[in-house]
Structure 1
Amino acid sequence: MIAPSFPVAGVWRRIAAAIYDGFLMFAVLFVASLLPALLLNADRLAMSPATDSVVHELNTPLQGWGYTLYLLALIFAFYGWFWRKSGQTLGMQAWRLKLESIDGTAVSWKQVAIRLPVAALAFFLFGAGYWWAWLDREGRSWQDIASGSRVVQLPKEQK
């Protein structure tokens, strides 16, 4: 195993960056859902006169497997693009974290495809996959181990 050039990131920093990215992801998914909903209901909204009544039923095309796959594809593209481009999402930049392969290179699409579902599982099991980093000798979480990658702590920039 190649020694990391930067220290492995701590659990709390990873969680803070994940929360930061969670807010950004919420906004991305909100807009990604709002636009098709408005487009698919534009004819109905344009033709209905302004009234004081509440519209109880609109077309609900944003549901089911197709919609779920659409949102999952957006999540995959979002994280994949940032991780492949610079190794950092906006939250990771704020907390000076970087995702890289064990050899220090950029992660592959295959690593992204493994890392995302394992990270979701690690999070939804009350963070057990993240807490695992405290038990692992190399400070790796479940998603690090499964995808052959690591999150490192970058140094502060010199002024």
Structure 2
Amino acid sequence: MTTELSAPGAFRRLAAIVYDCFLLFAILFVASLIPALLLSPEIMSNNAANDSVVHDLNSPLEGGWYRVYLLSLIVAFYSWFWRKSGQTLGMQAWRIKLESSDGGKPSWGQCLVRLAVAVPALGLAGLGYWWIWIDKDGLAWHDRASNTRLRALPKPSKK
């Protein structure tokens, strides 16, 4: 007997987003540290004058290429998790699963559309997320646009 899983509420979605932001912050921190160390040898050596301040050092982490690098890591993070298991770490902790509208794994294209629409949905005071309270199916803007849906997974049964 299969039961239809319900859409998660706003609190669970927000909690999963916050949880994922902590993990993503750590990933982006390490991802920024690596090129900073490789491209700024003065950081690793004592060649910089002791009276210089950090913001006076040449920073390799500026400009468009750096932003593209970080954005590609964010896209890879979400897309990989969503394609692999339908869940990021935050979604696992809050028992939320992403699936295509047909019940399968979302495609790469669906993941990209979902991310592209989720940013303005969150940026407009979260209007695209709060939309779940109005939508008859409990879908946010990025759910509708990408033809995906979130499902609240039941608690595992105790043995």
> How many Å apart are 1:45 and its aligned residue?
3.5
> How many Å apart are 1:17 and its aligned residue?
0.3
> How many Å apart are 1:51 and its aligned residue?
3.2
Task: Tell me the residue number matched to 1:17.
Answer: 16
Any stretches of 5+ residues in structure 1 without a counterpart? none
State the SS of the aligned residue for 2:112.
helix
Task: Tell me the residue number matched to 1:54.
Answer: 53
In the alignment, the residues of structure 2 paired with residue 13 and residue 76 of structure 1 have an alpha-carbon distance, to the nearest angstrom, of 22
Tell me whether 1:113 sits opposite 2:106 in the alignment.
Answer: no
> How many Å apart are 1:50 and its aligned residue?
7.5
Task: Tell me the residue number matched to 2:94.
Answer: 95
Higher relative contact order (CA 8 A, sep 6+): 1
State the SS of the aligned residue for 2:143.
helix
Q: 1:55 to 1:19 in 2, by over 3 A?
A: closer
Q: 1:151 to 1:18 in 2, by over 3 A?
A: same
Task: Tell me the residue number matched to 1:151.
Answer: 150
State the SS of the aligned residue for 2:86.
coil
Q: 1:67 to 1:79 in 2, by over 3 A?
A: same
In the alignment, the residues of structure 1 paired with residue 106 and residue 97 of structure 2 have an alpha-carbon distance, to the nearest angstrom, of 11
State, as a whole percentage, how many aligned pairs show the same letter: 58
Tell me the amino acid that sits aligned with residue 101 of structure 1. Answer: S
Any stretches of 5+ residues in structure 2 without a counterpart? none
- Count how many residue pairs are aligned between Structure 1 and Structure 2: 157
State the SS of the aligned residue for 1:136.
coil
In the alignment, the residues of structure 2 paired with residue 74 and residue 49 of structure 1 have an alpha-carbon distance, to the nearest angstrom, of 31
RMSD: 1.8
